[in-house]
Structure 1
Amino acid sequence: MVTFIGEFNLKIDAKGRLVFPSALKKQINSSAQDSFVIKEDLFEKCLVLYPMEEWERQNSILRKKLNPFNAKHNMFLRGFAKGAAELSLDGSSRLLIPKRLLDYANIDKEVVLAGQNGKIEIWSKDQYEALFSQEIDYSDLAAEVIGDSLNPEA
Structure 2
Amino acid sequence: MLTFIGDYPCKLDAKGRVLLPSAFRKLLAASSEDGFVMRKNLYEDCLDLYPSSEWNRQLAMIRSQLNPFNRKHAKFLREFYRGTAEIQIDGNGRILIPKKIFADTNLSNGLTLVGQDGKIEIWDTKKYNNSGMNQEEFNQLANDILGDNMAL
Q: What's the CA shift for 1:98?
A: 0.7
Q: Given the alignment of the two structures, is residue 31 of structure 1 paired with residue 29 of structure 2, yes or no? A: no
1:18-53 Cα deviation digits (max 9, x unpaired): 011121122235222x21110000001100000011
C-alpha RMSD of the superposition: 2.0
Name the structure 1 match of 2:101.
Answer: 101
Q: What's the CA shift for 1:111?
A: 0.2
What TM-score, normalized to structure 2?
A: 0.88
Structure 2: 5+ residue runs without aligned partners?
none
* Contact 1:45–1:104 under 8 Å retained in 2: no
SS at match of 1:145: helix
Q: What's the CA shift for 1:139?
A: 1.3
CA distance in 1, matches of 2:38, 2:10: 17
SS at match of 2:67: coil
* Contact 1:105–1:124 under 8 Å retained in 2: no
CA distance in 1, matches of 2:74, 2:143: 32
Query: Are residues 149 and 70 of structure 1, via their aligned partners in 2, closer, same or farther at CA, if it must alter by over 3 Å?
Result: farther
Q: Using the aligned pairs only, state the percent identity.
A: 46
CA distance in 2, matches of 1:149, 1:105: 39
* Contact 2:25–2:93 under 8 Å retained in 1: no
Q: What's the CA shift for 1:82?
A: 2.4
Query: Are residues 63 and 149 of structure 1, via their aligned partners in 2, closer, same or farther at CA, if it must alter by over 3 Å?
Result: farther
CA distance in 2, matches of 1:76, 1:3: 28
Name the structure 2 match of 1:11.
Answer: 11
Q: What's the CA shift for 1:148?
A: 4.9
Q: How many residues align?
A: 149
Structure 1: 5+ residue runs without aligned partners?
none
Write the letter of the residue equivalent to 1:31.
S
* Contact 1:42–1:79 under 8 Å retained in 2: no
Moved over 3 A (4+): 148-151
Q: What's the CA shift for 1:149?
A: 7.5
What TM-score, normalized to structure 1?
A: 0.87
1:64-107 Cα deviation digits (max 9, x unpaired): 22111223322332332221100101111111101222222211
